[in-house]
Structure 1
Amino acid sequence: MPDPRPHHRPVPKRGVFFDEQAGGPDPAVVAEAAERAAAVLVRGARTSEDAGIAERLVHLADTEGIEAIAEAWAHAPADSLGGSLWRLYLLRSWVFADPSGVARQFEAGRRHAEFARVVAGVADPPGPDELRTMVDAVLRGIAEGDFADVLLRAAAFARVVAAGRATLPEVPDADVRRVLVLAEQLEAAGHAELA
């Protein structure tokens, strides 16, 4: 049976039509805005006279959500300010999500990464509360100290945890490598900040 509707040719679409239908803002513009926001957070925090800024920086992921931070900085290069901040907040979220497990891994790695243990600055013995306190102190350093020190201290902490994970038979090699890569990225960012 023939179709009762008359057939017509589709109207050709011009380039402007596709531009208007794009799936969101230009990724390059978003990346630039994210990096500017990171610079304002890192560089502006140290020059601010606002006494509460350090606490707001520590709790940024709590108030804005780690997903919002990820959306802004997760795809930034590891040695950029945004990429560094993403890794710092990811580290904090991980410690707060599993403080007992991370404390166990840190304890297992202490004797295998002696220098990194000292640089990390975790209280002895390293229990869950001590790790939460240390990771918050590291983030406070964004506003109160030198950003390179913040990154190097976080890198040292991740390096000790990676060493500890490597000694635990239940931790897959991929999980050890993941934390080791995080440590290396934070350390490289710290050296880039020093330069």
Structure 2
Amino acid sequence: MCAAMASEFSRPTKFPPGMFEAFQGAEDPAHLSRVAHDTAAALLSRVQADPDPEVVARLVAYTDEHGIDAIAELWSRASAKSLPGALWRVYLLRALIRQDPRSMSLAFQRGAEVSHTIDQVVAGAAIPAGPDEVVELADRILHGLFTGDFAVALERAAAFARVAAVGSASLADDADETDAVHPDRPAKLTTRAYRLTELADELTSCARLWRRDALD
């Protein structure tokens, strides 16, 4: 799922000097896994211990400058139920929202209308949630990973993904497969609904593990 979603957001990668030196000659999967876990743990503990607003702001906006590939190189191959896996998924969700805020806000808004859960409340999005509101929400959720309750931030991201998944599925039902301009729209919306649902489940599992002090 993550590799497929990441392909939607590919941009030229600009690595800061020395950031990925640990990967030289690091074909060993076990080594790559250890580097992913160590960097995620070190980053989170460092920022939570001293949440300098400027540092947090740079972390939130990191992929805006360097591209989602910069984060993918570091954490995307980690287990879905791990600390680097959790960080990767929240960055990926933010990238998805920022790439197409209009369609994501439309999916979230439709999901909030047709679903009968409290997920839209948990996510914390403004109602109605337009493009600007969902972009701002994505930033607040990622910000919360570093400065607030980590599990709550994961649960908010999961809730947003679930609502958007329900909305995407509903929009797919409405889409006209005979549309000559966008004949593949129903299939794309259905695929996105599936991937968002999977993403939500993974983030929820990570939140539970974090609360049990078992998210490594």
TM-score scaled by structure 2? Answer: 0.76
The answer (yes or no) to whether the contact 1:78–1:185 under 8 Å persists in 2 is yes
Matches within 5 A, 1:62-101: 62-101=64-103
Where in structure 1 do 4 or more consecutive aligned residues deviate above 3 Å? none
Matches within 5 A, 1:10-159: 24-25=25-26, 26-111=28-113, 112-159=115-162
The answer (yes or no) to whether the contact 1:113–1:160 under 8 Å persists in 2 is no
Say if 2:205 is the partner of 1:188.
yes
Cα deviation, 1:153-181, whole Å, max 9, x if unaligned, reads 00000000001011112443332111100
Give the distance between the partners of 2:53 and 2:197, measured in 1 at CA: 34
The answer (yes or no) to whether the contact 1:113–1:159 under 8 Å persists in 2 is no
The answer (yes or no) to whether the contact 2:151–2:210 under 8 Å persists in 1 is yes
| % identity of equivalent residues | 40
The answer (yes or no) to whether the contact 1:113–1:163 under 8 Å persists in 2 is no
Of structures 1 and 2, the larger Rg is shown by 1
Distance 1:120 1:113, change over 3 A: farther
Q: Would you say how many aligned residue pairs link Structure 1 and Structure 2?
A: 173
Structure 2 portions without partners, runs of 5+ = 1-23, 176-185
Give the distance between the partners of 2:74 and 2:56, measured in 1 at CA: 20
Give the distance between the partners of 1:113 and 1:58, measured in 2 at CA: 31
Give the distance between the partners of 1:64 and 1:81, measured in 2 at CA: 21
Mean alpha-carbon deviation: is it higher for 161-170 or for 96-105?
161-170
Instruction: Give the superposed CA RMSD.
Output: 1.5
The answer (yes or no) to whether the contact 2:36–2:75 under 8 Å persists in 1 is yes
Structure 1 portions without partners, runs of 5+ = 1-22
Give the distance between the partners of 1:76 and 1:184, measured in 2 at CA: 16
Mean alpha-carbon deviation: is it higher for 168-177 or for 83-92?
168-177
Structure 2 residue identity aligned to 1:142? L
